[in-house]
Each structure stands twice: as structure tokens, then as C-alpha cells.
Amino acid sequence: MAATLQNSLKAQKKVLRKAISSKLSSLPGSSVEEQSQAVVARVLELPCFRRCKTISCYLSMPFGEVDTSKLVLESLASGKTLFVPRIQSKEGHMEFLKIYGTDDLASLPNGTWGIKEPEMHWQGKSRTNALESNSEPLDMILLPGVAFDRSLSRLGHGKGYYDRFISSYVATGRRRPFLVGLALREQIVGDKVVPMGAHDWKLDLVVTPDETLGGSTVEVVNTSDDTR
């Protein structure tokens, strides 16, 4: 019975993922650029984002999702500590590694799927990993996705990287970071449309070019000054 339900969930996700991916594949680059600018402007104005001291933000693919290049630069410029994802393909998981300034960010090589990724070392030293006990606690994670619904559910690309990382992070005893999805208009579907499994994490906010979904919770975020 459990296996049947799991297979049904995977099938539902696959159908929705295919439908949204088809829309995104025909989306002009000019539209992605315009929408990304609007989303980033909204994020920068969020009180919870302004208060955060340590964040993780994805580095965007060349197409089909909100471009975060300005957002990560603004985060560093404002003095925030920034972590970005690195896929460990052999182990099948993702880790978040610290970025040490704009020069470091600009020098990142292309990794999985053409996405810029940090190498394990920077200037001869091991990068700080967000899962390490001596790392700054993450206040917020800015997530990509294929689709988002109005009940703050997220559909990823099917690898489970983010959900596994969040579970691993919480398992260290630290408070769950504030989870914010960034979405193009074409990625938003109706209420409770995204299929959710037991290991899928709900978001706190979804920021679109036109609105912030879940905005009533925007003030509920703890920063690194709190006991974790």
C-alpha cells in the first residue's frame, strides 16, 4: 500500500513537472530578466530578509528560473554571510559552502547543469560548510523550484537535494531556517496543487514578481543573535 502511494505521488509530481517545464522552455529570456528584477526587488524589501545575518541562496541556472545574480551581490554588499549550494553527485546530496566576498563569487566555476558552484577550498583553506558545528547558523534559505502553489508547497527537479539538506540541518539540533521560494509567474499554480510527500518541506514565503505569498508570516524569523 505504501509503495503504491509513493509511486502515485511520484507520477503526479512528474506530470506537473513536465507541464511547468514545457511552459518555462518557451519563456523568452527578456521575460525571465524582467520578472527576476521584480522578484529580487521584493526580496530586498522584506523585513525578514533585511534582519537576516546569514543566508543561503541558490545560484541560478542560465534559463527557466529567477536569476539571483543581483540578489547574492546585494547580500554580500550589505554585510550578510552567504552560503551557496554545491552538488555532491557521487553521494547524491547537496551541501552549502561559504562565499568569501565578491571576488570569490565572481571566480566560481560552472558545475552541475551549468550552475556556478564553489570548490571545496578557497585560497588554500577549506570552505566553511553550513552543517559544521562551528558554522554560522543559517537564518534563511532562498530556494528555486519548478512549481510552487498558493499553500506554499514546492516542487523541485526530483532529486530531493533541498529537502534532504533541510532535514540534515535540523537534525544537527539547530532551528530550521526561514524558507523562501523564488518564483516566476509561470511557476505558480493553484492552492494545494503541488503533491507533497512526508519528506517534503513547506515554505514560509514564496516571492513572485507580483506578490509575496504567505506574507502574514513575514515577521516570523529569527536571526543569528538567537540561541539555536
pLDDT at 228: 33
pLDDT at 93: 87
Residue 227 has pLDDT above 60, yes or no: no
- Helical spans, DSSP H, in 78-148: 102-106
Residue 157 marked in a binding site:
yes
What is the mean pLDDT of the segment spanning 52-63?
96
Q: Is 49 exposed, middle or buried (0-12, 13-18, 19+ CB in 10 A)?
A: buried
What pTM was estimated for this model as a whole? Answer: 0.91
Report the sign of the C-alpha dihedral through residues 211, 217, 218, 222, in that order: negative
What letters, b where the CB count within 10 A reaches 16 and e where it falls short, cover 147-162? bbbbbbbbbbeeebbb
How far is residue 53's CA from residue 41's CA, in Å, rounded to a whole number? 18
CA dihedral 154, 77, 98, 213 (to 10 degrees): -10
In 3D space, the residue among 76, 35, 186, 5 whose CA is nearest the CA of residue 84 turns out to be: 76
Residue 169 marked in a binding site:
no
How far is residue 10's CA from residue 12's CA, in Å, rounded to a whole number? 5
Residue 226 has pLDDT above 50, yes or no: no
Residue 218 marked in a binding site:
no
Residue 17 marked in a binding site:
yes
Domains with residue ranges and CATH for the chain: 2-217 (3.40.50.10420)
Residue 218 has pLDDT above 90, yes or no: no
Beta partners for residue 93, in sequence order: 88
Residue 173: pLDDT band by 50, 70, 90 thresholds? Answer: very high
Residue 27 marked in a binding site:
no
Residue 202 marked in a binding site:
no
Residue 162 marked in a binding site:
yes
Each residue of 86-116: pLDDT tens digit? 998 766 789 999 999 999 999 999 987 789 9
Each residue of 130-171: pLDDT tens digit? 999 999 999 999 999 999 999 999 999 988 999 999 999 999
* DSSP three-state, residue 142: strand
Residue 160 marked in a binding site:
yes
What are the angstrom distances between the C-alpha of 190 and each of 16, 127, 144, 193, 222?
A: 12, 40, 18, 6, 29
What is the mean pLDDT of the segment spanning 64-80?
98
How far is residue 115's CA from residue 85's CA, in Å, rounded to a whole number? 10
Residue 219: pLDDT band by 50, 70, 90 thresholds? Answer: very low
Residue 80 marked in a binding site:
no
How far is residue 50's CA from residue 36's CA, in Å, rounded to a whole number? 19
Residue 156 marked in a binding site:
yes
How far is residue 95's CA from residue 85's CA, in Å, rounded to a whole number? 6
Average of per-residue pLDDT values in the chain: 91
Residue 15 marked in a binding site:
yes
Q: What is the DSSP string of 65-78?
A: S---HHHHHHHHHT
Each residue of 176-185: pLDDT tens digit? 999 999 999 9
What is the mean pLDDT of the segment spanning 30-56?
98
What is the mean pLDDT of the segment spanning 17-27?
96
Residue 197 marked in a binding site:
no
What are the angstrom distances between the C-alpha of 142 and each of 18, 64, 211?
A: 23, 16, 16
Residue 49 has pLDDT above 90, yes or no: yes
* DSSP three-state, residue 23: helix
